[in-house]
């Protein structure tokens, strides 16, 4: 929300300085994002007039201009094509600093002729609202020698506020002035306007078809024989200073009402609109050409204002170009309706149109002040443009203002501030609330207060949050955290202990990149992305971790162990969001000088997976086959616990690594923390009084036998006290024959009694016999 200091003072009688006003706005919860005061950098620029312009004798594209600055005649060399005799211009005298580039204007010799200043263009002064080719052309009737900044209001500070969605009233300058008056920075001015002179016994020629489900209030006025023209200087300056291009008096007045009172209106060319107005929903694929000269295809969810032939207004958002007002318009129809704000918000999002009107309608437009604002707009049009006014159309009904039962002792109970009741009453009344004798508070129609706590917030906000004292937080020894948080914390610590580094990446990614990891889900496309590279909600963290791998490899870091805990998305519903832990391992197993280096393999990351699961009391049951396009088909699988899939593990597919330009193999696992939090019966920690016994076995089996199946088979041997089973080597080669492979397995046996050598040998033989029988294996000697 942008406004100038003079605009604010049209509604607030105050002697407060700009700094005092900005501090008060921040204290009121209306964050001041920026203050732009150009009075100093533009103070030396003058309005002048060219009284003579002749070609430069030494340069075809230059002119020697005689310029009257109101005190003397200067000689200035100018290269602008539009420089000519009797043109009113902006002069930069010698010593002036040009805002665009910081250039200091000096006396100069240009091709042998002295130049005593510079004639300025809009770009050089960094101002809008003027011709953008050549030097600025000003109206001929302007006084010469006066300050350009003062004449055009450019010395008027511009304040930019960040308005929260619940402060719809402060999307109008008058609402901001009301808050400042309640704060004690001045007095809110009453808005008065001249009574409209209507045609005697006039009845509007307009015929209205209104569906109150779409619009619960419609106000309109037919006005004929106006003189639409450029706006008065004060109005044009006010709008252009906040970035609104002045168009014509009628259009500028509607913009002024929108920004002054948060009351959007629209003016139609009546001759192009016609007499029949229909408020309806659009037809499927009905075409609408808007004021921005773009054509939109509408549907039945869009509310429109139409005539007999076409759509003339996308309700609450933007008017149509075919019924727009121009300088030649003599007859207008001024409209101020209330439309369903939810429909406006959806239509705006669907068609990707953001307008000042839309921003106000989708939050809240005060229907009870609609008629007063409309009459003010009509009186301004009549005063500036003249015209003959038909009686107003005014149809629809509005809800009564809300009432809240309020006990003023609640202020201290909720805030801890002992604010006198008289002061609380004063604050509420200055904000527009009405207090009855029975301690009922009538909420002003421009606010959305619903409960007593809302009134406490209003009082404390104006009284000042700086009065709230500092008190230490109460320490609670026993804190309860969600199961997800506890699991994530333990797994994170376990991974760090294994040498992993935690990373945090965007929850967004590029849709083109997401397509490599599965089908694109339209529900996950971001309508207004931060950038084109972040236009899709991620369905997996792996793509972002691969980006991290590339970055590290490009910086000559080849050994990478990283993980991230964060959200992934399968749809646009709350239930479609999951929290996962993703870990990635690539490079060499060890790069220490005294250790022989080797490349990591799937068993390294599998060992890390088993370790971290043990920290939360889960012993991995199995890894089952899976089919996923971005993992290696023979080196990947689902992680199974209690017959439930809790994640997956595997080697990233070589084709994908090639597309990413990643060097070497990359191994990855992902755990679904939502699933882990649902596991009620986790493996318990059992203290053992005696040390474990480890035995190694090497079995020769057929090449198609899965190593994981052998591990699962040994683990499930209920007759033996087996604590852990791990694979430490797989070998294929001439020494064991073709179509065979050797699988080396370490088995850990743990009991609460001392085992004899004979007992250990019997257990080992039991394991050997079981594997030989089940898999037709032979024990490798």
614-653 confidence digits (pLDDT tens): 888 887 767 777 767 788 988 898 888 888 889 999 999 9
- Structure-block tokens of residue 382: 């009549």
Q: Please check whether residue 255 is in contact with residue 245, taking contact to mean a CB–CB distance below 8 angstroms.
A: no
Least confident piece of the model among 457-461, 719-723, 759-763: 719-723
Confidence at residue 476, expressed as pLDDT on a 0 to 100 scale: 58
What percent of the chain shows pLDDT beyond 90? Answer: 63
Beta strand 631-641 with 536-537 is: unpaired
φ and ψ at residue 99, rounded to 5 degrees: -60, -35
Kindly state the tokens that stand for 234: 């004060």
pLDDT(481) > 60 = no
pLDDT tens-digit readout, 350-377? 999 999 999 999 999 999 999 999 999 9
N-terminal to C-terminal alpha carbon distance within the chain:
82
Q: Is the predicted pLDDT of residue 477 greater than 80, yes or no?
A: no
Closest by CA position to 265, among listed 394, 374, 145, 170? 374
Output the DSSP codes for 22-81: HHHHHHTT-EEEEEE--TTTTTT-EEEEEEEEEEETTEEEEEEEEEE-SS-EEEEEE--T
Please indicate whether residue 474 or residue 677 has the higher confidence score (pLDDT).
677
pLDDT tens-digit readout, 58-107: 888 899 999 999 999 999 999 999 999 999 999 999 999 999 888 999 99
Is residue 781 helix, strand or coil?
A: coil
Residues flagged as binding site: 448, 454, 457-458
Whole-number pLDDT of residue 725: 87
How does pLDDT run across 423-473, given as a tens digit for each residue? 999 999 999 999 998 889 999 999 989 999 999 999 999 999 888 887 776
Let me know: does 351 contact 318? Beta carbons within 8 Å. Answer: no
pLDDT exceeds cutoff 80 at 28: yes
Q: Is the pLDDT of residue 480 over 70?
A: no
pLDDT of amino acid 286 = 93
- Are the C-beta atoms of residues 368 and 445 closer than 8 Å to each other? yes
Question: Which tokens in the block code for residue 149?
Answer: 């900044």
Assess whether pLDDT exceeds 70 at residue 682. no
Cα 689 to Cα 436: distance, rounded to the nearest angstrom:
78
Rounded to whole angstroms, how far apart are CA atoms 215 and 139?
A: 44
pLDDT score, position 44: 92
Question: Looking at the whole model, is its pTM more than 0.85?
Answer: no
Residue 733 is predicted with a pLDDT of 84
What's the longest Cα–Cα distance across the chain? 120
Angle at 46 between CA 45 and CA 49, to 5 degrees: 135
**Residue 316: how many CA atoms within 13 Å on its side-chain side?**
31
- What whole-number percentage of the chain has pLDDT above 70? 96
Query: Which residue numbers belong to the known binding site for Mg(2+)?
Result: 448, 454, 457-458
Q: How far apart are CA 305 and CA 319, in angstroms?
A: 9
Angle, in degrees to the nearest 10, between helices 483-497 and 602-615:
130
Q: Give the per-residue pLDDT at 625.
A: 76
Output the average pLDDT for the chain.
89
pLDDT of residue 570: 87
Residue 487 confidence (pLDDT) = 86
Domains and CATH numbers, the chain: 2-37+157-188 (3.30.56.10), 46-151 (2.40.50.140), 207-396 (3.50.40.10), 403-467 (3.30.56.10), 483-678 (3.30.930.10), 693-779 (3.30.70.380)
Using the structure block, give the residue that is written with the tokens 């032979």. Answer: 778
Helix (H, G, I), strand (E, B) or coil at 108: strand
CB-based contact 687:765 (threshold 8 Å): no
Q: Taking 60 as the threshold, does the pLDDT of residue 673 lie above it?
A: yes
Which tokens in the block code for residue 671? 């755990």
- pLDDT grade, residue 689 (50/70/90)? low
Distance CA 23, CA 11 (A): 19
CA-nearest of 572, 596, 408, 585 to 501 is 585
Q: Between these two residues, 477 and 696, which has the higher pLDDT value? A: 696
For residue 573, pLDDT beyond 90: no
Instruction: Name residue, tokens 């694929």.
Output: 285
Q: Tell me: pLDDT of 478 over 60.
A: no
Q: What share of the chain is helix, strand, coil (3-state, %, to 5)?
A: 30, 30, 40
Number of Cα atoms under 13 Å in the Cβ half of residue 101: 8
614: left (phi over 0), alpha (psi -120 to 50) or beta: alpha
In this structure, are strands 388-389 and 217-224 parallel, antiparallel, or unpaired? Answer: antiparallel
> Can you tell me the mean pLDDT for 224-237?
91
Q: How confident is the model at residue 687 (pLDDT cuts 50, 70, 90)?
A: low
Instruction: Please check the confidence at residue 679 and state whether its pLDDT lies above 90.
Output: no
């Amino acid at each position: 929300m942008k406004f100038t200091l003079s605009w604010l003072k049209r509604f607030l009688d105050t002697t407060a300085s700009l700094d005092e006003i900005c501090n008060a706005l921040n204290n009121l919860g209306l964050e001041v994002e920026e203050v732009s005061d150009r009075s100093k950098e533009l103070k030396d620029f003058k309005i002048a007039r060219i009284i003579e312009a002749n070609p430069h004798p030494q340069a075809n594209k230059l002119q020697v201009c005689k310029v009257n600055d109101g005190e003397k005649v200067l000689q200035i060399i100018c290269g602008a094509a539009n420089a000519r005799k009797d043109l009113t211009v902006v002069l930069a005298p010698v010593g002036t600093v040009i805002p665009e580039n910081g250039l200091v204007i000096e006396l100069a010799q240009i091709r042998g002729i002295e130049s005593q200043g510079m004639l300025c263009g809009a770009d050089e002064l960094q101002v809008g609202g003027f011709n953008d080719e050549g030097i600025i052309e000003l109206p001929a009737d302007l006084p010469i020698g006066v300050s350009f900044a003062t004449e055009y209001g450019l010395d008027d500070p511009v304040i930019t506020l960040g308005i929260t969605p619940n402060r719809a009233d402060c999307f109008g300058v008058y609402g901001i002035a009301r808050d400042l008056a309640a704060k004690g920075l001045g007095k809110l001015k009453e808005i008065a306007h001249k009574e409209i002179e209507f045609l005697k016994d006039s009845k509007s020629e307009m015929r209205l078809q209104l569906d109150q489900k779409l619009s619960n209030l419609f106000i309109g006025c037919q006005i004929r024989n106006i003189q639409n023209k450029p706006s008065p200087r004060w109005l044009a300056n006010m709008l252009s200073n906040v970035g609104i291009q002045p168009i014509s008096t009628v259009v500028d007045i509607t913009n002024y009402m929108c920004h002054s009172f948060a009351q959007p209106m629209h003016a139609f060319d009546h001759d192009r609109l016609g007499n029949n107005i229909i408020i309806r929903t659009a037809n499927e694929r009905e075409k609408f050409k808007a004021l921005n000269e773009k054509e939109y295809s509408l549907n039945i969810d869009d509310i429109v204002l139409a005539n007999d032939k076409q759509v003339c207004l996308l309700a609450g958002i933007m008017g149509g170009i075919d019924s727009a007002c121009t300088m030649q318009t003599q007859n207008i129809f001024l409209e101020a309706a209330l439309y369903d704000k939810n429909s406006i918000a959806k239509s705006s999002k669907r068609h990707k149109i953001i307008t000042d009107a839309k921003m106000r309608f989708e939050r809240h437009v005060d229907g009870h002040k609609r008629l007063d604002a409309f009459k003010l707009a009509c009186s301004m049009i009549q005063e500036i443009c003249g015209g003959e006014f038909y009686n107003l159309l005014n149809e629809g009904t509005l809800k009564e203002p809300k009432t809240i039962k309020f006990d003023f002792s609640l202020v201290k109970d909720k805030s801890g501030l002992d604010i006198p009741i008289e002061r609380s009453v004063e604050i509420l009344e200055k904000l527009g609330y009405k207090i009855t004798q029975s301690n009922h508070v009538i909420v002003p129609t421009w606010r959305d207060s619903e409960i007593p706590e809302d009134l406490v917030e209003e009082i404390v906000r104006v009284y000042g949050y700086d009065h709230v004292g500092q008190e230490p937080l109460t320490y609670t020894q026993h804190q309860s955290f969600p199961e997800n948080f506890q699991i994530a914390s333990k797994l994170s610590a376990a991974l760090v202990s294994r040498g992993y580094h935690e990373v945090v990446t965007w929850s967004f990614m590029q849709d083109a990149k997401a397509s490599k990891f599965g089908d694109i889900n339209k529900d996950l496309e971001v309508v207004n992305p931060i950038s084109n590279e972040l236009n899709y909600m991620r369905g997996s963290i792996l793509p972002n971790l691969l980006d991290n791998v590339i970055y590290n490899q490009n910086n000559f870091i080849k050994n990478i162990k990283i993980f991230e805990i964060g959200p992934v998305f399968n749809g646009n519903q709350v239930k479609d969001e999951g929290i996962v832990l993703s870990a990635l391992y690539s490079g060499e197993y060890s790069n220490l000088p005294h250790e022989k280096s080797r490349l990591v393999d799937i068993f390294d990351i599998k060992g890390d997976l088993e370790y971290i699961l043990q920290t939360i009391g889960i012993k991995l049951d199995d890894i089952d086959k899976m089919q996923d396009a971005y993992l290696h088909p023979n080196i990947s699988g689902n992680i199974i616990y209690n017959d439930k899939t809790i994640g997956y593990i595997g080697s990233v597919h070589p084709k994908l690594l090639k597309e990413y330009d990643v060097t070497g193999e990359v191994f990855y696992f992902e755990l679904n923390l939502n699933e882990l939090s649902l596991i009620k019966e986790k493996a318990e920690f059992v203290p053992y009084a005696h040390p474990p016994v480890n035995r190694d076995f090497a079995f020769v089996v057929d090449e198609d036998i899965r190593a994981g199946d052998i591990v699962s088979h040994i683990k499930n041997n209920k007759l033996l006290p087996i604590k852990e089973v791990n694979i430490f080597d797989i070998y294929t080669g001439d020494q064991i024959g073709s179509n065979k492979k050797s699988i080396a397995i370490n088995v850990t046996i743990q009991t609460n009694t001392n085992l004899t050598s004979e007992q250990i040998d019997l257990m080992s033989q039991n394991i050997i016999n079981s594997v030989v029988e089940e898999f037709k294996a032979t024990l490798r000697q």
